[in-house]
Amino acid sequence: MVKLTEEMKTEITGLLFLATSSKDGVPNVAPMGANQFVGDKLVISDNFMKKTLDNIKENPVVAINVANCRAHPFQYKGKAEIVTDGEYFEKAKELNKVKVPGLTPKGAIVITITSIFSVKPGPDAGSLVETDD
């Protein structure tokens, strides 16, 4: 399991862009704003997802970039699962009370981050920072 710094966790829980792909390789990128860490798992509230869910069902490999990529130049890759009950879903409901009051999530996406890459411009752009492989 990769070790995320507290700064990384803070950045990821702001606005992020979640990239998914169908089993046929058709990409989808969607902004996500209701995000939090529960231990080492990233939990994203599923409030309006359609293509993202369809893609995760077919192909659980995801990539994440944060909106503030100049100040936080990392890309995260991992594996996602969809949950509609249990601890992570309850955390998503609690998060919604703060981030989007009055809206109950349909479920939650739970992501285990497996690798971190640099997206900082320069000769090291795209280089692997850390992996659990």
Kindly give the parts of the chain with pLDDT less than 70. 133
* CATH number of the domain that residue 12 is part of: 2.30.110.10
Phi, psi angle pair for 35, to nearest 5°: -130, 145
Domain ranges, residue 102: 6-122
Task: Quickly list H helices, the chain.
Answer: 6-12, 51-58, 87-99
What's residue 95's pLDDT? 94
Position 130 in a domain: no
The tens digit of pLDDT for each residue in 56-71 reads: 999 999 999 999 888 8
What's residue 69's pLDDT? 87
Position 133 in a domain: no
Position 10 in a domain: yes
What's residue 132's pLDDT? 86
Position 46 in a domain: yes
pTM for the full model? 0.94
Position 79 in a domain: yes
Position 128 in a domain: no
What's residue 133's pLDDT? 66
Position 60 in a domain: yes
What's residue 56's pLDDT? 98
Domains: count for the chain: 1
CA torsion 42→89→99→17, rounded to 10°?
Answer: 40
Position 131 in a domain: no
What's residue 14's pLDDT? 87
User: Can you spell out the DSSP letters for 82-110?
Assistant: EESSSHHHHHHHHHHHHHSTT---SEEEE
What's residue 1's pLDDT? 74
